[in-house]
């Protein structure tokens, strides 16, 4: 057997197609709700893809070597905590260490409703290249949140580059922060890691108001351990990450109907406010008009951190209200 990867959700597929042949385009069935296709040449020729740390994503005409695991991720929990956890025969505090990601501890149906995080060299004495943590969620994972965490698990197993684990850890911590309530209790996820398409917004949550409507929306920025907001010196004034101008620009770039709905609900019309800014090819969206409505738009940043256990936690920023 050989292995192929979905180009959308990074799920690995097993197939009997001989090496050197191209797998036909198929719907991805590994992750419920994934609209992606997989049609790469053989991604792995190792019988167990989870034990192969170095792999190539081969396309029809060109082979591109993808950087794989380069040491222990800075977003992984302290190794001393992982060592203690690995020595525990049964899960403690809703947390389990998994050395081999091809076993049922990681792949079972029950595990798929849990939070799963995978890191290279999570425990450097392990026999495998990548190990995982399976976390019992404090609330049931359903709908968009379940797809969000499933996508995180798939992404962390594939782990194309060194920043992948950092990004995914931040996404997991941010979702945990929103699920915990805090400043925004009773919100539901509308946009998550499984829907990313390049606009730059990590997560969007809404507060249900009945009849399919929402009274408030929250733009959530997820940061990995030690990461910080980015400052773009080439962008127009007021468009640094998570500023109101940045949020409007990113909503304008989203192809998903959710963005248009949010702008309509909060009473904002946007336009190309900065065409070919500073003579560059890129243009930026901005507010054209605003009619105040009862619907509010907020923003918050969650930065991932590990506390003793190990336990994935987060540090929230101050809450920002853009409109309403």
Output b/e per residue, 47-72; b: 16+ Cβ within 10 A.
Answer: eebbebeebbbbeeeeeeeeebbeee
CB half-sphere exposure, 180, CA atoms < 13 A: 14
Q: Which of 12-16, 55-59, 277-281 has the lowest mean pLDDT?
A: 55-59
Strands 130-135, 63-65: pairing is unpaired
Q: Are residues 240 and 281 in the same domain?
A: yes
How far, in Å, CA of 97 to CA of 104, rounded? Answer: 13
DSSP string computed for 49-64: GGG----EEE-SS-EE
In a domain, 74, yes or no: no
In a domain, 232, yes or no: yes
Torsion angles phi and psi, residue 77, rounded to 5:
-70, 160
Summarize pLDDT for 74-118 with one digit per residue, the tens.
899 999 999 999 998 777 678 999 999 999 999 998 888 999 999
How far, in Å, CA of 287 to CA of 314, rounded? Answer: 32
| Helical segments of 254-304, H only | 257-266
How far, in Å, CA of 132 to CA of 119, rounded? Answer: 6
CA-based max dimension of the chain: 62
Q: Are residues 46 and 83 in the same domain?
A: no
In a domain, 71, yes or no: no
Could you list the residue range(s) of the whole structural domain that residue 50 is in? 1-66
How far, in Å, CA of 204 to CA of 144, rounded? Answer: 11
- 30 has a pLDDT exceeding 60: no
Residue 285 pairs with which residues in a beta bridge?
A: 272
- 46 has a pLDDT exceeding 90: no
Q: Are residues 113 and 18 in the same domain?
A: no
Q: Which of 200, 193, 232 is nearest to 115 (CA)?
A: 193
Q: How many domains does the chain have?
A: 2
Number of H helices, E strands in the chain: 6, 17
Residue that finishes a domain, picked among 25, 40, 66: 66
Q: Please, what is the Cα angle at 17 between 16 and 20, to 5 degrees?
A: 140
Residue that finishes a domain, picked among 36, 66, 96: 66
Q: Which of 53-67, 156-170, 184-198 has the lowest mean pLDDT?
A: 53-67
Q: Are residues 186 and 246 in the same domain?
A: yes
Q: Are residues 11 and 88 in the same domain?
A: no
In a domain, 305, yes or no: yes
Token digits for 207?
């507060």
Summarize pLDDT for 199-229 with one digit per residue, the tens.
789 999 999 999 999 999 999 999 999 999 9
Q: Whose structure tokens read 């500073």?
A: 278
Token digits for 190?
């509308």
Instruction: For residue 109, give every residue at least 6 positions away whose Cβ sits within 8 Å of its Cβ, in sequence order, or none.
Output: none
Please state the pTM of the whole predicted model: 0.77
Token digits for 151?
């996508």
Q: Are residues 43 and 167 in the same domain?
A: no
**pLDDT score at 41:** 42
How far, in Å, CA of 306 to CA of 133, rounded? Answer: 13
Q: Are residues 263 and 147 in the same domain?
A: yes
In a domain, 72, yes or no: no
């Amino acid at each position: 057997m050989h292995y192929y990867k979905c180009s959308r959700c990074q799920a690995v597929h097993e197939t009997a197609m001989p090496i050197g042949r191209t797998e036909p385009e198929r719907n991805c069935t590994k992750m419920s709700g994934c609209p992606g296709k997989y049609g790469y040449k053989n991604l792995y020729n190792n019988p167990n893809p989870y034990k192969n740390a170095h792999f190539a994503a081969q396309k029809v005409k060109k082979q591109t070597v993808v950087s794989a695991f380069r040491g222990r991720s800075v977003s992984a929990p302290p190794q001393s905590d992982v060592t203690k956890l690995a020595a525990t025969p049964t899960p403690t505090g809703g947390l389990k260490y998994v050395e081999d990601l091809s076993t049922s501890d990681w792949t079972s149906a029950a595990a798929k409703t849990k939070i799963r995080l995978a890191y290279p060299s999570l425990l450097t004495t392990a026999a495998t290249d990548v190990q995982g943590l399976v976390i019992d969620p404090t609330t049931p994972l359903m709908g968009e949140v379940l797809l969000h965490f499933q996508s995180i698990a798939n992404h962390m197993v594939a782990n194309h580059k060194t920043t992948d684990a950092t990004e995914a850890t931040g996404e997991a911590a941010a979702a945990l922060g929103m699920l915990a309530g805090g400043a925004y209790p009773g919100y539901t996820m509308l946009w998550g890691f499984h829907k990313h398409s390049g606009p730059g917004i990590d997560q969007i949550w809404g507060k249900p108001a009945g009849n399919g409507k929402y009274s408030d929306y929250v733009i959530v920025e997820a940061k990995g351990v030690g990461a910080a907001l980015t400052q773009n010196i080439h962008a127009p004034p007021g468009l640094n990450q998570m500023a109101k101008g940045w949020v409007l620009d990113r909503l304008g770039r989203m192809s998903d109907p959710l963005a248009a709905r949010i702008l309509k609900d909060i009473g904002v019309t946007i336009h190309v406010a900065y065409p070919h800014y500073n003579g560059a090819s890129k243009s930026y969206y901005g507010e054209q008009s605003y009619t105040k409505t009862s619907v509010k738009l907020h923003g918050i940043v969650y930065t991932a951190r590990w506390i003793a256990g190990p336990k994935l936690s987060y540090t929230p920023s101050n809450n920002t209200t853009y409109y309403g």
